[in-house]
A and B are shown apart, each in its own frame.
Chain A
Amino acid sequence: MTSANKTGQTPSKRAPSARVSDHLFAAIPTIWLALFFLAPLGFTVVYSFGNSLFGAVELGFTLKNYQTALSGFYLTTFLRTVQFAVTASALCLVVAFPVAYFIARKAGRFRTLALVLILIPYFSSFLVRVMSWQILLARGGVVEVILNFLHLHDGPLDLLDTKTAVFIGMVYAYLPIAIVPLFVVLDRIPGPLLEASRDLGASRFQTFWAVTLPLARPGIATAVLLTAVPMLGEMVIPKLLGGSRGVLMGQAISSQYLQSQNYALGSAMAVLVLIAVAVVVAALARLTKGFAEVSA
């Protein structure tokens, strides 16, 4: 019944079928997106099967580009990208979960302020923030000074142009977007449910493990989706913080278009990224479906 209300499907004599306005509301954005989103993606898929000439593509059907994209340097890059995205997304989740938990359960009257604080960095230039990490991570930079001060590290710290720097940058850039969905699910868990678990004798840890965590699954899935997927295509952070070593798919695809002018190979690599994205989405859909079955 609630779903009928939500969707405006309540039986009514005056609204038996779609009106002109309903069709317009659905059609106008669809046409716009078909033109500037779906059609370009379609071109990419078609071109990924074409024969590459320099700066041009002869249309046809060949799997040659995929063979190239799945061998040697390109395969290594692809696998490295998947590994980076999965690891960085997991790290992001680990950092984000306590923050979201704190805001949802412990922040009290400061929760709006806390949420605003999390979101403000999003409105400053992404590029400048990543550039600032170069300054922070540089030899003799702030991070080195702090770690030395805390005796967690001795002497100079060569973080810039390493994998670690890329991970720091990725976790940094996607942290707010991981916190928000986690906050939303944790906020919705009714307090009495947790009290009941405690009253029935579960320890704090057992309550967290058996009640909070399963209920937070949709939020975890969303957080992973919103971080891992853009990480699969990330091209700025690895370039600025990772140096020339450890090129990821984003840069590799971009250079096929902007430098090598091999559109066909670039398209095949872009399609491979889309396939990786689809696999992530399918895996996460299974995770949340399992949740729906449990709750039903």
Chain B
Amino acid sequence: MSARAASPGQGDFRRRATDAGLSVWFVLAILFLFAPIAVSILYSFNLGVVGKQTSHFTGWTLEWYPAAWNDLALRRSVQTSLYVAFWAALIALAMGASLGYALVRHPSPRVRRWLSGLTYILLIVPEVVIGVSLLLFYAVTGVPLGAATLIAGITPAAIAVTALIVRARALTLDPRLEEAAADLGSTRLKTLWFIVLPQLLPAILAGGLMSYAFCFDNLVVAAFLTTPAVNTLPVYLYGSLQYGPAPSVYAAATVVFLFTVTLLGLAALCFRLSRKPGRTGAS
């Protein structure tokens, strides 16, 4: 401590050096995270060689965007992905909200413990194990693979994610509000609809959005459950890798990425706007 008191200049210098080092590390991490995205956008304009992607940039072209649009198999896989992700996210939203609320509010501690155990198991079973298990399950029970089996198969992990987000919000709910509603003669159903749901809604929507992005991009579980008729975008791309991907794949990925980011931006904006009136009213 005496050293510190004797030479404050040195300590100050060390602190600044550490801070600078941390900032540099952060910037490098961001560059690391965004480098492949930048490359995938850049290479969607790459001329390529005989319609295949190359690791060297051979020249600029815009032809891959119309090419991606005109590739019927690619377009159908995007449609399938949108459809599958929509229904899977909707199921995950409903199931996850219900599970997240039960995790906090079920009266029996034993049930709560069992439910949280289940939620964590959902998150820690590797996807490949879930994928092969579902393939086996559907094969043994004789259920033909289709869109519905795929949707059902990719929901569990999304349900867990939604449940944890909703749980975090439900923990902050004041039970006295619900009791007050009951005191004033509200039925349980009405209380849930008018008191509980509005408070949980931002978390439920956030969970649904996460689930949507998550299910749209699911590759590993979907790889085992897709059929030639029901093929999602990631699985289609994965299959196309054997022949060398075309730059149109990157064009499609770029469009989907921009679409997702726009959607998230809009959601964040809605979330902010919906919170503002409450804030000004409170202050």
Contact = CB atoms under 8 A, between A and B. Distances in A.
A interacts with B: yes
26 contacts: A8-B105, A15-B179, A18-B106, A21-B188, A26-B99, A29-B159, A32-B91, A37-B122, A37-B130, A39-B137, A41-B129, A95-B29, A98-B26, A120-B261, A123-B213, A123-B257, A124-B253, A131-B241, A132-B35, A140-B55, A172-B32, A172-B33, A233-B129, A236-B238, A253-B132, A257-B224
B129 A273 contact: yes
B85 interface: no
Interface in B236-258: 237-238, 241, 245, 249-250, 253, 256-257
Given A28-B95, A131-B241, A5 B175 contact: yes
A269 B157 CA distance: 21
Interface stretch (B16-24, B63-71, B273-281): B16-24
Interface residues of A, number: 96
Interface stretch (A62-70, A71-79, A101-109, A188-196): A101-109
A254 interface: yes
Interface in B32-68: 32-37, 39-40, 43, 53, 55-56
B128 A233 contact: yes
Contact residues on B (Cβ < 8 Å of other chain), bracket: 35 or more
Interface of B: 1, 4, 11, 14-15, 18-19, 21-23, 25-26, 29-30, 32-37, 39-40, 43, 53, 55-56, 91, 95-96, 98-99, 101-102, 104-109, 111-112, 115, 118, 122-137, 140, 152-153, 155-156, 159, 163, 171, 175-176, 178-179, 182-183, 188-189, 192, 213, 217, 219-220, 223-224, 233-234, 237-238, 241, 245, 249-250, 253, 256-257, 260-261, 264
A274 B125 CA distance: 7
A107 to B, nearest CB: 8
Majority secondary structure, B binding face: helix
B234 A126 contact: yes
A12 interface: yes
A40 B139 CA distance: 10
A61 interface: no
Interface of A: 5-10, 12, 14-15, 17-22, 24-26, 28-30, 32-33, 35-37, 39-41, 43-44, 47, 95, 98-99, 101-103, 106-107, 114, 117-118, 120-136, 138-142, 172, 175-176, 201, 203-204, 225-226, 229-230, 232-236, 240, 249-250, 253-254, 256-258, 263, 266-267, 270, 273-274, 277, 281
B43 A135 contact: yes
Contacts of A37: 122, 125, 130, 156
Nearest to A252: B128
Contact of B105 (A22, A101, A229): A22
Given A36-B152, A229-B126, A253-B128, A25 B99 contact: yes
Contact of A127 (B101, B192, B234): B234
A88 to B, nearest CB: 14
B137 A267 contact: no
